[in-house]
Amino acid sequence: SGMAGLWVCSLLVTGANRGIGLGLVRQFLGLPNPPKWVFAACRDPKGQRAQELQNLASKHPNLVIIPLEVTDPASIKAAADRVEEQLGGSGLNLLINNAGIAKLNSLDTETLEDMTQVYTTNTIGPLLLSQPAQRSPGSALSCSKAAIINMSSSAGSIEEVYLWDYGQVVSYRCSKAALNMLTKCQSLGYQEHGILCAALHPGWVQTDMASSGSQKPPMTVEESARGILKMLSSFSEKETGTFLDWEGKVVPW
């Protein structure tokens, strides 16, 4: 399947209760050699929107659901402590910053509040979540050792401005362009700690977030998540600081 090379001992996925986050959790749990621990973080683990995740957790003892509000530093600290406690100090191998929001605003309707909320969730969240990660220095970089994967979008590519005619979504685009710069900064700043950092464009996927317009996105969550896992299995030093899509193709900044 091309995934044989992917063995992650422990990972944390944010925004794991639906969409691509949930798809990634499913794919990891379904690997021939699944992770020892999969931490699935979402805002309201007990809520209606996390029902599928709860069902999965009842079947997989290695799946741990963690409450996490990525815009709240206290919540991030509590989640990091919970993970550390579960891992007994062995350190998380893979952090997938997937939680994200979008507001369907145009240039004319964008507001301070919406822009701030989108930026806080999509850009500052991944920054804060990655700060506890650099305590465990590794050797060669790979997703099995230590990696931070930021879920970006070619909607935030300054060259491509993907799907502009479909929707301006200015705050979302700006937040993802900023997330790409954060990824580059993390790749340089955490290199000495042996942490690989990359930004991913998962494709235009049929999620609640992407399907609010008139056109139906071409890809299923499963196709995207499978592609992402396949790609992660081949990651090495040369991928750090890059912006790639679900098939491993380079996306222009």
Strand-pairing partners, residue 96, are 13, 149
The residue with tokens 């639906």 is: 18
Which residue has 């935030």 as its token pair?
Answer: 156
Give the side-chain half-sphere CA count within 13 A for 111.
5
- Please give the structure tokens belonging to residue 44: 């309201």
The span from the CA of 182 to the CA of 163, in Å, is 23
What pTM was estimated for this model as a whole? 0.94
* pLDDT by 10s per residue, the chain, length 253: 455 567 899 999 999 999 999 999 999 999 999 999 999 999 999 999 999 999 999 999 999 999 999 999 999 999 999 999 999 878 899 999 999 999 999 999 999 999 999 999 999 999 999 998 655 554 456 666 899 999 999 999 999 999 999 899 999 999 999 999 999 999 999 998 889 999 999 999 988 766 666 678 889 999 999 999 999 999 888 999 999 999 999 999 9
Residue appearing with tokens 């099995």: 144
Mapped to the 3 state alphabet, what secondary structure does 161-186 carry? CCCCCCCCCHHHHHHHHHHHHHHHHH
What one-letter code names the amino acid at 183? T
Q: How far is CA 167 from CA 103, 107, 155, 171, 214, in A?
A: 10, 10, 10, 11, 10
Q: Which amino acid is at 128?
A: L
- Is residue 239 within 8 A of residue 231, CB to CB? The reply is no
| Ordered domains of the chain (ranges, CATH) | 10-245 (3.40.50.720)
